[in-house]
Chains A and B, each alone.
Chain A
Amino acid sequence: MEFPRLMTFFALTVLLFCSGCTMVEPWERDYLAREDMAFEPDPLETISNDQVYTSKEAAAGGRAVGGGGCGCN
């Protein structure tokens, strides 16, 4: 293997193992299940904010993002 290819191989292998992504296992979700980890802890306030947003911007939606929670079934 040539030197640049060897370096690429080495760099990619290191990158693979340095990945910042990790899976949170189902039994490890206690911190995510906390109320203060929710993006929208108060559903009534969320509805109220949505109403104001819709009135001011003449647009709605755009809230479909993943949040916290225990991921329980």
Chain B
Amino acid sequence: MKKFFVLIFILSCWLPVAGHTAWQGDAAPQFTLPSTTDKSTITLQSFKGQVVLIDFWASWCPPCRRSFPILDSLHKKYNSQGFVVIGVNEDNNINSGKEFTTNNPVHFPLVWDKKGKVARLYGLRGMPSSFLLDKQGVISYAWVGFPGGNHLKELENKIKVLLEAE
């Protein structure tokens, strides 16, 4: 019986941490999601051969909102060289995300992850979460939050290195 209680205890401790988080070195989980700007769908696979930054954001998350103009400037600066940002919106209500992007327009593709299916697939630990993928679709750099400062310089350097790589 003692063993049984120990087993129950171990199971109880294990249950909340059972999810897997996609991290550096992992192949990025594939997804196809509807665009928030038109009726098309966007597939991650279609960006293979490009350096992709997947940004999970929501209109209710202040650091996500702050990061938007910076991500947009990176997208505009390096898009012609094969870099693209994909904004994955995690709002429950699509209209909240649309309202934000109408008032703060960006040039990169935006998709809606209804009910957080892709967020669960990536095992997000916080908002915002971002993943920088190399040309083969492998996660090269992943981070939670939007720290700014030196982190931005480091991010831009990593984008340049990945763009130059085969």
Contacts and interface: CB of A to CB of B under 8 A. Distances in A.
Nearest to A15: B8
Contact of A12 (B8, B125, B144): B8
Q: In the complex, which of the residues A9, A33, A70, A73 has the most CB atoms of chain B within 10 Å of its own CB atom?
A: A73
Contacts of A71: 126-127
A72 B63 contact: yes
Interface stretch (A21-29, A44-52, A54-62): A21-29
Interface in B35-56: 56
Chain A: interface size category: 10 to 19
Interface residues of B, number: 30
A5 B1 contact: yes
A26 B129 contact: yes
B106 interface: no
B124 interface: yes
Contacts of A27: 56, 58, 90, 113, 116, 119, 124, 127
A16 interface: yes
A30 interface: yes
Contacts of B124: 25-27
A29 B124 CA distance: 13
A12 B96 CA distance: 43
Given A16-B11, A25-B119, A30 B62 contact: no
Contacts of A26: 119, 124-127, 129
B91 interface: yes
Given A25-B116, A73-B144, 5 more contacts: A23-B16, A26-B125, A70-B60, A72-B63, A73-B145
Interface of B: 1, 4, 8, 11-12, 16, 56, 58, 60-64, 90-92, 96, 113, 116, 119-120, 124-129, 144-146
Interface of A: 5, 8-9, 12, 16, 23, 25-30, 33-34, 70-73
